[in-house]
Amino acid sequence: MRAYFDHNATTPVAASVVEAMVPVLGGVFGNASSIHGYGQEARQLLEEARRRVASFLRTKAEEVVFTSGGTEANNLALFGVLRGPKDHFVTTAIEHPAVLNVVEELRAIGHEVTIVPVGGDGVVDVDDVRRALRPTTRLVSLMAVNNEIGTVQPVNEIAKVCREAGVLMHCDAVQAPGRVAMDFDVDLLSLSGHKLNGPKGVGVLRVRKGVPLRKRTYGGHHERDRRPGTENVAGAVGLGVACEKVTMMQGDLRDRLESALLGRVADCYVNGDAARRAPNVSNLRFLGVEGESLVIALDLKGFAVSSGSACSSGSVEPSHVLIALGLSALDARSAIRFSLGASNTVEEVDGLVEAVVESVQRLRKLSPAYA
């Protein structure tokens, strides 16, 4: 059996998305900025895709800016809004590297940054964000759903605090589609195609009308002068179709997997809040087991899982998210993320359970850290 349980890293491209993209890749080669017929054919497809994405995000088409993905969207939001050398920026300790790795650059160019901690449940406290605000605070950035542990954050509650203080708010909603309702009342919002069964290489920054956004790259006047560069029309078309096909995931398979492992494997624990989580994510730590070794063991048995963020793969450091929860480095390195998708089946989940039980038992016998 081969089965994929790493949907938070990337998702398979839906057949309907491929079907929509292939004719564009093969026959609609015009530049969407050209005024002749070839260009206008591409422009029509691009704008139809923009309307589809806007409908999914419950916003207006003119507020949708196509990017190369979630990372660029996050960078554009942060660097595009923070302007003055003393602008204060607030984010949290469990954000994606596409936000946290921007922090050092922000500090280097003179911005003040506050990183709000989280408790052991992995959920940001609204009052902690409120206390972090200053008269000079210009932007708060908060993810909707944590990519490693799946905790759902109080985005709209914090957005209300920001509005009352006259502070702009950005939401990294890359992991939100199909997990939670897309009803975020924020000023800027990031989305990535390959996280919702769309293509890689395309994303969106939703920019609320009236939000001053300075472009970060220079060239033409594409995307209403907010993101220059010839648009990826085929990618946009694919993303638009993917947005229309998103369905809400249920937690029954995740719960089946989790309850079986907690019941059959000793010294196995859930990381993050047990209830306030996306329905497809289970992050478990298996004491005495090196997470990377378990990932390899499961891959050899045909099951793809992860030990954390794909964007941090290869790092020798333990997960910053798990460390923020208060875990030791040793415990953090014993964690595995199982992230399910719509295509997973009961048979795959049961097969994964057997593979995990067998692999953990074998690895613990070899581990000097487990008595």
pLDDT at 313 over 70: no
Between β-strands 335-339 and 281-286, what pairing exists: parallel, antiparallel or unpaired? antiparallel
pLDDT band per the 50, 70, 90 thresholds, residue 311: low
94 lies in some domain: no
Instruction: Based on DSSP, count helices (H) and strands (E) in the chain, helices before strands.
Output: 13, 12
**Residue 367 confidence (pLDDT):** 82
343 lies in some domain: yes
pLDDT band per the 50, 70, 90 thresholds, residue 27: very high
Rounded Cα–Cα distance for residues 135 and 19 (Å):
51
Dihedrals φ, ψ of 157, to 5°? -65, -40
Report which secondary-structure segment, H or E, holds 241.
Answer: helix 233-245
Domains held by the chain: number = 1
Coil, strand, or helix at residue 284?
strand
pLDDT band per the 50, 70, 90 thresholds, residue 85: confident
290 lies in some domain: yes
327 lies in some domain: yes
| Distances, alpha carbon 12 to alpha carbons 38, 96, 135, 153, 319, in Å | 31, 21, 45, 26, 25
- Domain assignment of residue 345, given as a range: 3-11+248-366
User: What CATH number is associated with residue 252?
Assistant: 3.90.1150.10
The residue whose two tokens read 């946290």 is 100
| Distances, alpha carbon 68 to alpha carbons 10, 186, 239, in Å | 15, 21, 11
pLDDT at 309 over 70: no
Q: Environment class of residue 63 by beta-carbon count within 10 Å: exposed (0-12), middle (13-18) or buried (19+)?
A: buried
Q: Which among 162, 171, 243, 311 is annotated as catalytic?
A: 311
**In the chain, pLDDT over 70 holds for what percent of residues?**
97
pLDDT at 314 over 80: no
Q: Environment class of residue 95 by beta-carbon count within 10 Å: exposed (0-12), middle (13-18) or buried (19+)?
A: buried
pLDDT at 45 over 80: yes
**Average pLDDT of every residue of the chain:** 95
Q: Are 238 and 193 in contact (CB under 8 A)?
A: yes
Rounded Cα–Cα distance for residues 277 and 274 (Å):
7
* Residue 171 annotated to the active site: no
255 lies in some domain: yes
34 lies in some domain: no
Rounded Cα–Cα distance for residues 20 and 241 (Å):
7
| Distances, alpha carbon 241 to alpha carbons 164, 168, 198, in Å | 36, 30, 8
Q: Which two tokens stand for residue 263?
A: 């019941």
pLDDT at 310 over 60: no
Residue 201 CA from chain centroid, whole number: 14
Rounded Cα–Cα distance for residues 320 and 329 (Å):
9
- Which of 25-34, 66-75, 305-314, 346-355 is the least confident region? 305-314
pLDDT at 150 over 90: yes
Amino acid making up residue 352: L
192 lies in some domain: no
Q: What is the pLDDT of residues 163-174, one digit of tens each?
A: 999 999 999 999
Over range 281-296, report the average pLDDT: 97
263 lies in some domain: yes
Q: What is the pLDDT of residues 192-233, one digit of tens each?
A: 999 999 999 999 999 999 999 998 888 888 988 899 899 999
